[in-house]
A and B are shown apart, each in its own frame.
Chain A
Amino acid sequence: MEYFLQNFPQQLVNGLETGSLYALIALGYTLIYGILEMLNFAHGDVFMVGGFLAAGVTAVLVHGGVSFLPGVLLVLLMMVFAMGGTGFLGVAIERVAYRPLRNANRLAPLITAIGVSLFLESVVQVFVSPAPVGLPTNAFVSQGQLRFGNVETPLTGVLLFVVSIILMVALDLFVFRTRFGSAMRATAQDREAATFMGIDVDRVIMVTFFAASALAGMGGVLYGLRFATVNFFMGYLLGIKAFTAAVIGGIGNLRGAMLGGLLLGVLESLGGGFISTEFQDAFAFLALIVVLLIRPQGLFGQPLGDRA
């Protein structure tokens, strides 16, 4: 018990850190699912590509002798490149692989998405690196630790948390406070009715894919900064967990995805810290099963009605 009390705050902080990453990626799953009712398996791999874009930017700038640039500028450059790159990647994926199947049987886009996921992994594995790639983060971001009592966390972890929260709030404002956001919500509710109201559904879907993928790309950058290494396989497990987070929060529900992500991160961290580190990955899966059994519409989701 004493062990538990001593370590609980630290595990909680670790959990919030990974949880904010899950939430960032879960937002993408939930956005795309909300609008297209489609599970975008490739989303985790878009996150991975974001990490590699960040690694590429640092490799070019740091090894290219531009290391006199202030660290803040470098990080901003990484973020812009990675978000832009993954955003356009998402739009391209939608255009090439998903749009032709938009009105097809539900199975078709799901299978295509698996193909896209494997494609992205294979491209990075074959043409970039089959081994993990390190980011020389110590060259441009502070490696300091934030200390609070006996809890400590690296500053990059704090960055991860803060940037994630800012982006989540921004997305929330975009979807719930802007005109385009209301077009998105209308499309999510009823695509055909939205068309009749004069909404360009194709454009809404394109922007949705751009936003979701850019968030995943930002997740990749933050992951790269925090853990200083990226690999071609990292999107797979994280994608499953982020999707789990989206389901816990109620798929299609933005605020649910954020809370679900944080909740899952904390749950996993506590499970890993106090029950078993080896089976840490199994906790997310167990959480998914339990949520699906008890409350399939998620903690904050609407009942799915006849879609069961």
Chain B
Amino acid sequence: MSATPAVIEEPPTRGQHLWQSGPAAWNEALTRPVVMIPFFILAAATPLVLQYLEDNSSWIGAQFWTTILANCAMYACLALSLNLVVGYAGLLNLGFIAFFGIGSYAYALVASDQLHQHYPIWSALLVVIMVTVAFALLVGVPALRLRGDYLAIVTLGFGLIMRDLILDLDRPPILAGHQFGPSDLNLTGGTNGIHQVDPFKLPTSLPLIGSVPHFVMYYWIFIGVLAIFVFCMLRWRHTRTGRAWVAIREDELAARAMGVNTFKYRLLAFTVSAVMAGIVGMIDAAFIFNAFPGNFDVQQTVMVFIMVILGGLGSIPGAILGAIAFTVPPFLLQQFVFIKYLVISLVLIAVMVFRPEGLLGTVSIRPRKTMGGTVELFSDQAGAEPSAGTQGKAAELESTTGAIVPEAGPEPSV
């Protein structure tokens, strides 16, 4: 149906300044190695700079800020994983954060006193990957055969059921009067979660740097994982698989007509994203020494969603920017934290209504004006006016940012 070019990817033309070009060009510019490599080196060096400042001045706060940055990096990893499934493949996975939780709990179960298992990191990683893949297939195989809306509700329900399971599995389940497992079976610790999860066995001091505190070490791990995710996402973008994802997102029927096995590629995107979230969950459990049910309630999914949406669906630097924008303020404005979700939901609605492609997005989810627009063209003045108003605003936004968006051309006369 969509008549407009779907993916807007025009590199900046010669003689045109970058700031006059569109989000796609910004995206392209920001994901070049010449930007990305210094960014990660700078990010990795930040805790050392903070430590140096703390040692040589009266300022204290290196640990506070490094912890915030570690959280930023963690959310950036999650936002990238979600971006894969929503931004690349166009699948609305509302149970996304459940996979983060599954990763946390899978690691906590094999690396704590809960089941008296203390796996080393690599075998624990293998377990986490296997468990998340199993759950992703369990949800994905039935749900991905259907159209997108059903996936949204199935994953939403899945997130809810996982939360219930985690809260209820501190005792053996009883089904139809039959008790499964011994009476003292306690898998998840219920509302208390699992405590004293093993941290990874890491050196506490490094050559040249000296002793490295726990939070700096995990900050580096998150930054490293983020770098790997960014690298993978950039590489995948232009592979056969990446192109198949984009094709499915833009027009599933056309993709099928081109011979793309839509089910296979959707399942792949869903599972890979789940595994990525699971790995982040595992690192988080080791970082904070516990797996706690409150860390992945449904509102967290929306939190990661807004990061991706604000940054722009499909945009890698956008997801990182979104993660920073929504992680740092809650830490600094603790007295306003009770309205956190109010603000997030308002920003989410506002972004979707006024700039649905986000700051750096390359996915055209803006309302169509050509084929689907007949309703607005032929309805009476009262009905046509408000929509024209929002489109005018959107066009204004585009002109201020200088976006090269095909739809931004002059209004077709009726």
Q: Which residues in A have some Cβ–Cβ distance to B below 8 Å?
A: 38-39, 41, 95-97, 99-108, 110-112, 114-119, 121-123, 125-126, 191-192, 195-196, 200-202, 236-237, 240, 243-244, 247, 274-276, 278-279, 281-282, 284-285, 288-289, 292-293, 296, 304, 306-308
Contacts and interface: CB of A to CB of B under 8 A. Distances in A.
A293 B144 CA distance: 10
Contacts of B175: 275-276, 279
A125 B342 CA distance: 9
Given A107-B92, A240-B153, A240-B160, A100 B353 contact: yes
Contacts of B174: 276, 278
Contacts of A200: 379-380, 383
Contacts of B153: 39, 240, 243-244, 247, 288
B341 interface: yes
Contacts of B224: none
A31 to B, nearest CB: 15
Interface in B29-64: none
B341 A285 contact: no
A29 to B, nearest CB: 10
B272 to A, nearest CB: 19
A122 B152 contact: no
Given A102-B375, A108-B352, A284 B341 contact: no
Which interface residue of B305, B313, B356, B390 has the most chain A CB atoms within 10 A?
B356
A196 B377 CA distance: 11
A285 B158 contact: yes
**Range, interface on chain B:** 35 or more
13 contacts: A102-B387, A106-B149, A115-B346, A119-B346, A126-B339, A200-B383, A201-B379, A236-B160, A276-B174, A281-B160, A292-B145, A293-B145, A308-B145
A201 B105 CA distance: 50
A119 B375 contact: no
Contact of A112 (B253, B344, B353): B353
Contacts of B378: 195-196
Contacts of B168: 278-279
B386 A99 contact: yes
Contacts of B349: 96-97, 112, 115-116, 119
Given A95-B386, A276-B173, A293-B145, 4 more contacts: A107-B313, A200-B379, A244-B157, A285-B158
Contacts of B339: 122, 126
Contacts of A192: 374-375
Contacts of B261: none
Nearest to A194: B375
Interface stretch (B193-201, B215-223, B237-245, B360-368): B360-368
Interface string B124-160: 0000000000000000001101111110111011101
A185 to B, nearest CB: 17
Contact of B367 (A104, A110, A195, A289): A104
Nearest to A102: B367
A274 B174 CA distance: 11
A100 B150 CA distance: 23
Contact of B156 (A95, A116, A240, A279): A240
Contacts of A125: 341
Given A114-B94, A126-B338, A195-B374, A306 B253 contact: yes
B146 A275 contact: no
Contacts of A276: 173-176
B328 to A, nearest CB: 20
Contacts of A110: 92, 148-149, 152
Given A96-B353, A192-B375, A306-B253, A118 B302 contact: yes
A299 B156 CA distance: 22
Interface string B159-172: 01100110010000
Contacts of B368: 103-104
Contacts of A112: 348-349, 352-353
Name the residue among A115, A195, A282, A304 with the largest chain B CB count within 10 angstroms. A115
A122 B342 contact: yes
A244 B90 CA distance: 22
A308 B147 contact: yes
A240 B158 CA distance: 11
A50 B299 CA distance: 22
- Residue of A110, A114, A121, A125 ringed by the most chain B CB atoms within 10 A: A114
Given A39-B149, A296-B146, A118 B299 contact: yes
B345 interface: yes
Given A101-B356, A107-B365, A275-B176, A123 B342 contact: yes
B342 A119 contact: yes
B309 interface: yes
A114 B365 contact: no
Given A106-B149, A114-B94, A121 B341 contact: yes
A105 to B, nearest CB: 4
Nearest to B371: A103
Nearest to B94: A114
A99 B352 contact: no
Select the residue from B157, B338, B376 with max chain A CB neighbours within 10 A: B157
B367 A115 contact: no
Given A102-B375, A111-B92, A118 B164 contact: no
A240 B161 CA distance: 11
A191 B253 contact: no
Given A107-B92, A202-B383, A285 B157 contact: yes
Contacts of A236: 160, 298
Contact of A97 (B145, B148, B305, B353): B353
Contacts of A195: 374-375, 378-379
B405 to A, nearest CB: 14
B345 A116 contact: yes
A193 to B, nearest CB: 10
A36 to B, nearest CB: 11
B406 to A, nearest CB: 15
Contacts of A282: 161, 164-165
B181 interface: no
Nearest to A127: B342
A101 B356 CA distance: 9
Contacts of B364: 105
Nearest to B252: A308
B207 interface: no
Contact of B342 (A107, A126, A279, A284): A126
Contact of A99 (B346, B372, B387): B387
A202 B309 CA distance: 28
